[in-house]
Amino acid sequence: MTRTLESLSNTSSVEEVVAVLERDGVVVIRDFLAPGTLEGLRTDLIPRLEQTSTGRDGFSGDRTRRMGALFGHSRHCAEIVTNPLYLEAARHFLVRSHEVWIGDHRVPLAPDVRIGVTQAIQIGPGQGGQVIHRDDNAFLWRHPTHGREGRVQIMVALTDFTEANGGTRVIPGSHLWDDERKPLASEVVAAEMPAGSAMIFLGSLYHAGGENRTADEFRTGLTIALDASNVRQEENMYLALTPELVASYPEQVQRLLGWSAGSNAMGWVEIDGQMADPIVLLGNPADRQVMSVTQKNHELKVE
Ligand SMILES: O=C(O)CCC(=O)C(=O)O
Ligand SMILES: [Fe+2]
């Protein structure tokens, strides 16, 4: 396992990030977090994570601690999902329109982007390697994807990631494989990166949590998935976060958390007989006008 992953600086352009993701399915962004954000995330998350139980199955890891609902635990999560190097690169792979007939009109329909998973993952000493898998299995996604991904994920290092302490293992280029080719342990590369750096990877990329062979190092990462809004969010955000908590974030984050009926009309809620955008329920004055999602889409696309 001598190869290393392509890494870019945090001043790179979105186009540069996209280019490496298209080629390798994975890219490391050096110093992705501002120093204050790294310290804030560590303070908010690590003490709580250390109170959680370890996993009870091989996939979760019996020396691994996991904690979800991260927007309820650290407001710094908003900085991760709104960072253009992540959000705009994700939008490139997720927001792909295709044309459908609606009556007499040929209409381009595209999904929006939503947060599908938030999880802090701490791999402890003695944890064996996780089985190699694709995270878009959750959507029963087919491969090759021909560039139309269901998920673009980030793994932010809250502690240093090394090959020895359980740094995530990935198979660069495996996002291009079909569903028949079996991933082999001999093909993996460990994501080695200092705390504050992050690895962005496609949902179709084969990867696994690494083995922690150290005596006393805990590898702590924070993962978030941005998913296309035509798939169900894997983590149930509506049970994980109260409406009051979601309402306390900026509207962009509220919508990313799923309080949005996107341009493909997924996620409406009935208000006064209208299939309405649920953002109205969070009390944004600008969105007080209740307009049905079909009415809105008609006006946007068909006129
Ligand atoms: O913790 C990691 O490095 C990756 C874990 C993972 O891929 C998973 O649990 O799906
Ligand atoms: Fe995974």
Domain ranges of the chain: 7-248, 261-303
List C-alpha distances in Å: 174 to 8, 62, 187: 20, 27, 10
Token pair recorded at residue 23: 């080629």
pLDDT in tens, 149-169: 999 999 999 999 999 999 999
Judge whether 218 and 125 are in contact, CB under 8 Å.
Answer: yes
Does the pLDDT of residue 298 top 60, yes or no? no
Among the bound ligands, the one closest to the CA of 208: 1
State yes or no: pLDDT of 290 exceeds 70.
Answer: no
Nearest to 188 by CA among 175, 210, 206, 170: 170
Nearest-atom number in ligand 1 for the CA of 121 is 1
Mean pLDDT of 216-230: 97
pLDDT band for position 117 (cuts 50, 70, 90): very high
Atom of ligand 1 nearest to the CA of 64: 1
DSSP string for 186-250: GG-EE--B-TT-EEEEETTS-EEPPPB--SS--EEEEEEEEEETTS--SS-HHHHS-HHHHHTS-
Report angle CA 9, 13, 14 to the nearest 5 degrees. Answer: 115
pLDDT of residue 272: 86
Q: How far is the CA of 208 from the centre of ligand 1 (A)?
A: 5
Q: Which of 56-65, 218-227, 279-288 has the highest mean pLDDT?
A: 218-227
**pLDDT tens per residue, range 71-85:** 999 999 999 999 999
Q: How sure is the predictor about 52, in pLDDT bands with cuts at 50, 70 and 90?
A: very high
Atom 1 of ligand 1, residue of closest alpha carbon: 209
Confidence class for position 303, pLDDT limits 50, 70, 90: very low
Residue of minimum CA distance from atom 7 in ligand 1: 208
Whether the CB-CB separation of 151 and 135 falls below 8 Å is answered with yes
Instruction: Name the pLDDT band for 262 (thresholds 50, 70, 90).
Output: confident
- Which residues form the pocket of ligand 1, taking CB atoms under 6 Å from any ligand atom? 121, 130, 135, 155, 168, 207-209, 221
Q: Distance from the CA of 284 to the center of ligand 1, in angstroms?
A: 36
Question: What pLDDT is attached to residue 284?
Answer: 59
Amino acid code (one letter) for 69: A
The stretch 92-116 carries a mean pLDDT of 94
Please state which of the four CATH numbers 2.40.10.340, 3.40.50.720, 2.60.120.620, 2.40.50.840 is assigned to the domain occupying 7-248: 2.60.120.620
Report the length, in residues, of the chain: 303
Q: Which ligand is nearest to the CA of 209?
A: 1
Q: Is the pLDDT of residue 286 over 90?
A: no
| Res 173 pLDDT > 80 | yes
C-beta pairs of 13-21 under 8 Å, 24+ apart in sequence: 14/84, 14/85, 14/88, 14/89, 14/92, 17/85, 17/89, 17/200, 18/89, 18/92, 18/93, 21/89, 21/93, 21/152, 21/200, 21/201, 21/202
Residue 1 has pLDDT above 80, yes or no: no
The CA–CA distances, whole Å, from 135 to 92, 108, 215, 227, 296 equal 19, 28, 29, 11, 33
| Least confident range of 18-27, 154-163, 276-285 | 276-285
* pLDDT band at residue 288 under the 50/70/90 scheme: low
